[in-house]
Amino acid sequence: MFSAFVDSEELAALLVAATVCGVLVIKTRSSWSRLMRVGDLGAIQAAHSTPTPRLGGIAVFVAVVTAALLGLPGWDSLWVLLLVASVPLFLSGAAEDLGFPVAPVGRLAAALASSVLVVWFGETWITHTGVPWLDLFLAWSPLAIVVSVVAAATVAHAFNLIDGLNGLAGSAAFICALSLLGTALSVNDMEIAVIASVLAAAVLGFLLFNFPFGSIFFGDAGAYTVGFLLAWMGILLAGRHADVTPFAMVLAMFWPLADLTLAIFRRYQRHSPLAAPDRLHFHHLVLRSLEIAFFGRARRNIANPVATAVMLPLIAAPAVAGFLLHDQPGEAAVTLACFFALYFTVYLIGMRLAMHRLRNGSVKGRREGPRGLHAAQ
């Protein structure tokens, strides 16, 4: 089913993304020292130990635009709409990646503005959930539009939150794109299928340089823009096809949304600002657990990609379920609730085990005082 979409546009997206990433890696190391983002090493949420350019998202965007140009004029205006609408969000993220700080509220405003453009010019939004009483509320267009705009902006921000390990955000985006591709093919929506396959190919080209060694990062431009495109593909699939449940679309994007939900809950409990970064995301827990048990902080360059590899099956499972249950709203809703419960349970158990090991000094001589997991809280 998927092999039918390995066409010129997909190949172009992969090659362009990989080529641009390669050029950016070489250039930033040789002459564009400002773009190496040395200051990022001191960020509380940082999980890398060497200065690294955050320009992978620019490469992905260039690759997707190139593939779109190769496919025009045969492609419908939907592809053009999504790319043009994403420009405000892409530019805000790219400015941050290029060393021109943009406040979180500025990036949020850009995400909302980009979503409003899709609604305004595409006249599309979430119209149903498969749950009768919820659908009564969504029948009122103003409310449905607000829900759609906020949902897309939320997904975009969620992908940015998980961009903390080599290959993590890129792999989550790739898996999500494949899940949406499978659903699009199942309902014979070739337009969204092509968009999903091109985006997956572009992200794969980026991953060649991002995983496992982290030669270049997704950056805000990549995480926000790719998350935005995936969110609207999910909304469009559910909006165009009455038998596609939005619960399945949430399953396809489960990992970043679960991480965002946990972050909101965690910061509420700690009375911290919602935009305040911390080192307590699920991927930080996995990384620190691997360092405590096996690698130590000195070998973070190894623990970092290993943590991503450990998490990949956990990221893929909900996305696969979303594809398989795309036309079964009840089952998809129950499965979604189960995955959320499992996610929170595993996180809480992992935190308690990690804290217990730190308190008892079972770090094999690698206790880290104020920079350890306990102090990170």
Known binding-site residue numbers for Mg(2+): 160, 220
Dihedral sign, Cα of residue 59, residue 171, residue 9, residue 155: negative
Question: Which residue has 């991503």 as its token pair?
Answer: 308
Long-range contacts of 356-361, Cβ-Cβ distance < 8 Å, separation of 24 or more: 357/292, 357/293, 358/292
Binding residue numbers: 160, 220
Instruction: State residue 350 phi and psi, 5-degree precision.
Output: -60, -40
Structure tokens at 240: 């165009």
313 class by beta-carbon count within 10 Å (0-12 exposed, 13-18 middle, 19+ buried): exposed
Structure tokens at 65: 């635009």
The contacts of residue 20 (CB under 8 Å, 6+ apart) are 58, 59, 62, 63
Cα–Cα distance, 354 to 272 (Å, whole number): 22
Structure tokens at 376: 């990170």
Cβ pair 167, 48 in contact under 8 A: no
Cα–Cα distance, 366 to 303 (Å, whole number): 14
Structural element, H or E, at residue 57: helix 56-71
Cβ pair 252, 323 in contact under 8 A: yes
274 class by beta-carbon count within 10 Å (0-12 exposed, 13-18 middle, 19+ buried): exposed
Cβ pair 248, 330 in contact under 8 A: no
Cβ pair 140, 215 in contact under 8 A: no
Instruction: State residue 298 phi and psi, 5-degree precision.
Output: -65, -25
Question: Which residue has 């053009």 as its token pair?
Answer: 80
